[in-house]
Amino acid sequence: MRIVRSFVAGLEKVVQFPSLIAWLYLTSVLLTVPLALSMRTLLKDSLGSSLVHENLRQGFDMDWYGEFSSGGAGNSGSAGLADSFGPSVVGSLPILSNLEKLIDGEILQADGTILLAGLLFLLAWAFFAGGILDRYAHPNEPPTRARFFSQNGEYFFRFVRLLIISLLFYWGIFRWVANPLHDWLEDATRDVTQEKTVILFTLLVYALVAFLLLLVSLVLDYAKIALVVEQRRSALLACLRGARFVLVHPGSALGLYLLLAAVSLLLVWLYSLVAPGPGQSGTTTILLAFLVGQIYLIARLGLKLWFLAGQTALFQSAERRG
């Protein structure tokens, strides 16, 4: 019952403070504008005055895309950023692609520009985390912008230190677990002729990496909450506090996380049903694809806040019960 109560309480808090979604959405848009402008320049230089743009009006031109992604076709040698553009960025394909890179331990092999944008986004979350968690932990306090930004400023550097610790944790998983396991998997299945055996070994490796990522994510989530709810100053001690909470309440912490993860999977499934594919060419369908994508982005941000609000409710409920 504690899981369900925290699940519902988290949703209620997200609905109670919709302005938090607006702040995060605006920040996300502002952070992606430089990348969008850079990509626009690359596309403009690649297409130039050629007839390729006529082909693209009728659908996606794979011949042109092969040259563009490899740095050709007037791409000014910016193959890294150009390689991030293509059919796989439309619809639900980016979600599956990013998930595969995460489990394979290849997420840090992306283009440096994209990694920098990702780091800026993480720093933005570190800035907003204090105000968000304060509002969820103290819903009866006046929800003023002065208090919100005051809490953001007070906790920012604590969350930056926690971000550094979290990046070290994730790097350790990729460096010492995920990559060696994938190397072992490749060696172990090189001469295996049974496809079922290869699939089984692959699933086991993925399951182990996913479990470690989930465990670290849980600990870090409750470390963030402990920083604000208990007004802690040490990010390292907050991590230990988060680990202690997960160890003392494993069923509730994991159950709530999996319940919210199920909602996330449902959201991805619904998006995959309605998201237009890469074959859009008309103004109306392109605009529709853009609007559907923005609605999905807003829903994802709301879901992220639902995680934080629900886990905050669980943390406070468990601590009140002793």
pLDDT for res 83 = 65
Contacts 24+ apart (CB under 8 A), 261-268: 263/303, 263/306, 264/303, 267/296, 267/299, 267/300, 267/303, 268/92, 268/95
Please determine, for residue 214, whether its predicted confidence score (pLDDT) is greater than 70: yes
In tens, the pLDDT along 286-322 reads 788 788 889 999 999 999 999 999 999 999 999 877 6
Which of 75-84, 166-175, 210-219 is the least confident region? 75-84
- Do 146 and 153 meet the contact criterion of CB atoms below 8 Å apart? no
- Residue 109 DSSP one-character state: G
Higher pLDDT, 3 or 62: 3
Per-residue confidence (pLDDT) for residue 77, from 0 to 100 = 42
Which tokens is 69 given? Answer: 């992604």
pTM, full prediction: 0.87
pLDDT tens-digit series, residues 28-46 = 999 888 888 887 887 777 7
Residue 144 confidence class, pLDDT cut points 50, 70, 90: very high
CA atoms within 13 A on the CB side of 229: 24
Residue 101 has pLDDT above 80, yes or no: no
What is the distance of C-alpha 22 from the center of its chain? 17
| Maximum mean pLDDT: which of 48-52, 100-104, 135-139 | 135-139
Contact (Cβ atoms closer than 8 angstroms) between residue 21 and residue 147: no
Residue 56 has pLDDT above 80, yes or no: no
* C-alpha span between 155 and 158 (Å, rounded): 5
The token pair at 236 is 């390292």
Q: What is the mean pLDDT of residues 75-102?
A: 60
Mean pLDDT of 145-159: 96
